[in-house]
Amino acid sequence: MNKTASEAVRFVRELVTTLAKDPAVETVVAPPFTALESVRSVLGSASHIALGGQNLHWEQQGAFTGEISGPMLRDLGCTYVILGHSERRALFGERDGDIHKKVRSALANGLRPILCVGESLDQRQSGRTEPVVTGQVAAGLAELSAQELDAVIIAYEPVWAIGTGHAATTEQAVAVHRAIRACIADAWNTEAAEHMRILYGGSVTPQNAESLLSESDIDGALVGGACLKTESFATIVLAAKNRPVH
């Protein structure tokens, strides 16, 4: 919940000027719902920066005051939507079943869901990281076909690292990303696991982005606070551009 529509417009104008188009890097911005139309107007239909929503409701329309549907996001030019973010789970009580319905709705409306999964500090300290995270993956993607799975992106965001300034170490992040791929391979197949794009989120900064993105198991970043300033966000995108070829 950052940036008014006018603030988001200024930010995106700066970002477009700063970031040159690069086919090796896909960049998505997900401003608040109130700024989507304004940001779309600035980006234009030919922009190399894609637009995403921060959440959606699983129904197409109806008596759900205050909610946003998949068709509404599509009509505003969104191609992505973030689902199951830890703040939605912790602060607003979203459960795996809710998130699964949202993933289904996103796919039905031509949106690529970015499914967020992650463990709390207590869960990590008690050695439950892998079953918690893979359980969230399995629940969020339950019964998807291989074709549907192809449109999904997973973001591993350890809850204990979000907004705390304490990012997971590269080794910790890689271990969980590998566990997620193994989960996908078991439920679908090895090809699906290898093709799955898995992002890391949780106190990603210009200082640690290069180390994280240099790992072959980490395909990108879900950036929080560091994306609020054009310079820091652009630095992270540059780290993605310069990652070694694996």
- Strands 197-201 and 27-29 turn out to be unpaired
Residues assigned a catalytic role = 85, 157
Other Cβ atoms closer than 10 A to 104? 19
**Beta-bridge partner residues of 221:** 200
Other Cβ atoms closer than 10 A to 108? 13
How far is the C-alpha of 153 from the C-alpha of 147, rounded, in Å? 13
What 8-state DSSP symbol labels residue 168? P
Contact 208, 226 (CB under 8 A): no
Least Cα distance to 48 among 2, 7, 15, 10 occurs for 15
How far is the C-alpha of 111 from the C-alpha of 90, rounded, in Å? 24
